[in-house]
Amino acid sequence: MAKITLDNLAHSYLPNPASEADFALKELNHDWEDGAAYALLGSSGCGKSTLLNIISGLLQPSQGRILFDGEDVTHAPTTERNIAQVFQFPVVYDTMTVQDNLAFPLRNRGRDEGYVAQRVQDIAHMIGMEGVLRRKAQGLTADAKQKISLGRGMVREDVNALLFDEPLTVIDPHMKWELRTQLKTLHRDFGHTMIYVTHDQTEALTFADKVVVMYDGRVVQIGTPEELFERPEHTFVGYFIGSPGMNVIPAQVQGNRAVVNGSDIPLGQAYRPPEGKVEIGVRPEYARLSQTEGLPVQVRRVEDVGRHKIIRADFFGQDINIIAGEDDHVSADMNRVTFDADHVNVYANDWRVQGEAA
């Protein structure tokens, strides 16, 4: 187990990067705590796989350093970093048995057979594959193979961190849940530092203690799932997390009021006039449709998703979403919406602006 520190880390795939746009990974300073479970969340191409490969040593960063427990490992090869990585699709050595697969890393390091046998037994028990140890790895299902990959990563006791690169992509949906649970259990029981890359917010939010959201090569927010939900630091976080995501509405902000199309929206805090592109963000969960109070809105469609209703509406020419409870009454003459002031955030140039108590 180790604490991983990123120091001024950045990466460009081009030999001579000129501007920020040339960097796949923009400058990053961050500590990954020992023993925590992190999710690295973002859409495709945002740089999360790049970051993971830099941590594991499969990629050398073009700028900056990476430290394991204070020791500079930036130029250390993968083998010296003692990390384990599970890839997007199962990597198993087909010609070997499950047992030999699990034993492979230990045998390569020259450990004696007695020790190897014991560890293989322990790990097989952990991933629930004791019964198939003698079988050839070739014919097994995808989820079994991923478990073997996982086991192979954990069989070394001195592993510093476990890295997962979208490991559940090829797994059947009903097995995904089971594997996720198993990973969580493993983390609880053994306390390895785990970094889990995914583009699926459900996976991220259920797996991790802390979620690192990435957008366009930059880390935009690190926080618990709750923090991400309540106080998105970046409009992307607001949009990406939640289903549907946060409503982002252009507005002018003066003191503790926001003005949209001449109408006032009360805010929970007071703000100095922000500069640049100013928007307010409010989640559909904190918007309420009513007949009498609030600002004018036109309901266009109501979708009943079972557990709740999603109302698609038109607010001064903007598309917004409102979530109403399953049993809440929604009728055609409800054409007003209120926003819960405490849950309206202000964004300037996509970044959240901190206000003062009103």
CA distances from 223 to 5, 95, 227, 275 (A): 17, 43, 6, 26
- Residue 91 as a binder of another protein (CB under 8 A): the answer is yes
What DSSP designation does 286 have? G
The binder of another protein chosen from 75, 125, 277, 300 (CB under 8 A): 75
Distance CA 157, CA 83 (A): 11
Q: Decide: is 66 part of the binding site for another protein (CB under 8 A).
A: no
Query: Is 188 exposed, middle or buried, given 0-12, 13-18 or 19+ CB atoms closer than 10 A?
Result: exposed
Show the binding pattern over residues 20-59: x = contacts another protein (CB under 8 A), - = does not.
-----------------------------xx--x--xxxx
Cβ 100 vs Cβ 93: under 8 Å = yes
Region of 167 (left: φ > 0; alpha: ψ -120 to 50; beta: rest) is: alpha
Our CB check for another protein shows the closer of 89 and 316 to be 89
- Of 155 and 248, the one with the shorter C-beta distance to another protein is 155
> Residues 349-353: contacts with CB within 8 Å, 24+ apart?
349/276, 349/277, 350/234, 350/235, 350/236, 350/277, 350/279, 351/233, 351/234, 352/231, 352/232, 352/233, 352/234, 353/253, 353/271, 353/274
CA proximity to 192, closest of 212, 218, 164, 224 = 164
- For another protein, the binding residue among 26, 34, 93, 206 (CB under 8 A) is 93
DSSP assignment letter at 234 = B
Nearer to another protein, 88 or 263 (CB): 88
146 or 338: CB nearest another protein: 146
Considering only residues 109 through 168, tell me which ones interact with another protein, judged by CB under 8 A: 109, 149, 152-153
- In whole angstroms, how close is the CB of 208 to another protein at the nearest point? 22
95 lines the binding site for another protein (CB under 8 A): yes
For the bound state, the minimum distance from the C-beta of residue 51 to another protein, rounded and expressed in Å, comes to 12
> Which of 26, 65, 89, 184 is close enough to bind another protein by CB under 8 A?
89
Q: Select the span of 82-90, 111-119, 176-184, 293-301 touching another protein (CB under 8 A).
A: 82-90
In the list 8, 29, 43, 79, the residue contacting another protein (rule: CB under 8 A) is 79
Q: What is the DSSP string of 19-58?
A: SGGG-SEEEEEEEEPTT-EEEEE--TTSSHHHHHHHHHTS
Instruction: Give min distance, CB of 243 to another protein, in A.
Output: 28
What is the size of the binding site for another protein (CB under 8 A)? 30
CA distance 134 to 98: 6
Taking residues 276 to 315 in sequence order and writing x for each that binds another protein by CB under 8 A, - otherwise, the string is ----------------------------------------
* CA pair distance 9, 212, nearest whole angstrom: 16
Q: Which C-beta is closer to another protein: that of 136 or that of 288?
A: 136
Amino acid code (one letter) for 179: L
Candidates 28-36, 78-86, 202-210, 348-356; binding stretch for another protein (CB under 8 A): 78-86
Task: Provide the binding-site residues for another protein, judged by CB under 8 A.
Answer: 49-50, 53, 56-60, 75, 77-79, 83-85, 87-89, 91, 93-96, 104-105, 108-109, 149, 152-153
